A and B are shown apart, each in its own frame.
Chain A
Amino acid sequence: MSPSDRLAWRAFVKVADTLVADFDIIEFLNTVAEYGVELLGVSACGILLAEPAGSLDLVAASTEQARVLELSQLQNAEGPCLDAYRTLTPVICPDLAAETGRWPTFAPAALAAGFAAVHAMPMRLRQQAVGALNFFSAEAGPLNAETTELGQALADVATIGILHERAIRRHEVVTEQLQVALNSRIVIEQAKGVLAERLQVGIDTAFTALRGYARDRNLKLAEVARAVAVGDLDIPLPADWAGPPLPGPSPAG
């Protein structure tokens, strides 16, 4: 096994381990996104799911940086994720600077945010797409065939994760599960806002506190977020929080 094979193997085992009964869909997708960063050697990874009207909403990411969130939102109009979602095939873009014609809004925005290359892998279920994985890289350069396959495999794992809870006997189960994930994400955003205001910190810091609280206590992120959003739970700043900007969540090792 090459080092990258070993890394891939470890990632898939870890992701498979997450697929136990009653798992936390958002935390699972966050884990997938973190491994995406590690496996593909990129700067950030976002996971977007299709909502009923057909636009793509970000539900998980390797980092909650505003620039990643905003670049995801832009892709309801254009961008690699939308293309991957629509065509059901991976979109590899080694040099964003050459793609300003293809994506006149997205490409300049991504370049301005410090990314030079962007790739997207569709989340496929039979002949349908349910979303896409988005990989952002600070350095220009292609993905080789092997890495592309790895990225697609990760997208397939993410899809299975969303659907795993129940046998897929009925097609509407897909939409049900997507709704749960999309709605959980909304709750998390609301909880970020509640905490940011209560603790008087930024949105990023609020997320770090929220996630740290859930992880330390082995609680589901979505449930902790709901309790915070409805005012049933008050989360303090982490004890080791030393003042100005907390770093975003670092990729899991």
Chain B
Amino acid sequence: MPARAAGVWLSITALARREGAAVAVRHVVIACAEALGAGAALSVAADHRPYEPLFATDGRSDELAELQTTLGEGPAIDAGQGNGPVLAPDLALPEAQVRWPEFAPMALARGVAGVFAIPVGSGAARLGVLCLYQEQPRALGRDQLDTVLLYADAAMILALDDRGGMAPSTADLVGSAFSERRAEVHQATGMISVQLGISVTDALVTLRAHAYAQAQPISQVAADVVGRRLSFAGQFTTFPQTAARGQTGAETNGNGSASPPRGPAPPRQQDQGQDPEDKDEEMEGE
């Protein structure tokens, strides 16, 4: 586990332990605010409805989060619609005043000089925005911004598990946080969303819930979905050949000829390239 990410999770779990509570989204928001010396608020979107503040470290941060939703304007709104962080280190600058003509003066009037808004989500799966409010106009260093991004990742994981009614152990939670990044996880999320006719956000929740329930790494469950050994269509169906645990991803697909026991729409072809025997077909003609 990379050192900075470990530090972030440590600060979150330490906070929860001090409270004697299970790790929750609010611990992420508080730990992030402490790390940055700023106020923080997490706003979440419930299916196509506007973002609503879920938790804030202080009254002013809560008010400014609410204000942005009401005005439909501000860094948090832009971050929620865009593809990356929206950083406004100095709201007094003309560019900020022009971009957020209503919000910028109102924030300044309340003693907030800079706002940093970070999307909470993964690709098209969007859960909300983590927004930091600071009193002094100052830019975030690259290290600081990386740290904030890691808190946003942690917030996403906890929000997802919360949405799915899951209460994983801290070890499961932190373990899952570090098997998130593989391409198969994102591909499997897309596949599950079609299999169950749900959003990619809920598909990600489903994927995580299944991994916890089976005590498997998320990346392993994802590889099974992409390899079409596991389908969520209709109901939870685990194909027999994946029942044995402890096999590596490369080996589980050894029996590539087995017909998938799935109802509605059997795969027309399989060219994921997961199967070592497929390698020749993938060679590129140079």
Residue numbers of A with Cβ under 8 A of B are 43-44, 51-55, 57-58, 63, 65-67, 69, 73, 113-114, 128, 138, 170-172, 174-177, 179-180, 183-184, 186-187, 189-198, 200-205, 222, 225-226, 229-231, 243-248, 250
Contact = CB atoms under 8 A, between A and B. Distances in A.
B83 A183 contact: yes
Given A52-B153, A53-B4, 11 more contacts: A53-B150, A57-B181, A65-B284, A175-B145, A176-B145, A179-B83, A184-B83, A190-B123, A203-B272, A229-B193, A248-B282
B269 interface: yes
Interface in B150-191: 150, 153, 181-183, 186-191
B124 A230 contact: yes
Contact of B284 (A44, A171, A189, A226): A44
B140 interface: yes
Given A65-B273, A187-B124, A203 B187 contact: yes
- Counting chain B residues whose Cβ lies within 8 A of the other chain, the interface size class is 35 or more
A194 B188 CA distance: 8
A55 B186 contact: no
B59 interface: no
Contact of A193 (B4, B87, B187): B187
B241 interface: no
Contact of B124 (A57, A198, A226): A226
Interface in B245-286: 265-274, 279, 281-286
A183 B269 contact: no
A133 to B, nearest CB: 18
Most chain B CB atoms below 10 A, which of A57, A195, A231: A231
A67 B273 contact: yes
A193 B84 contact: no
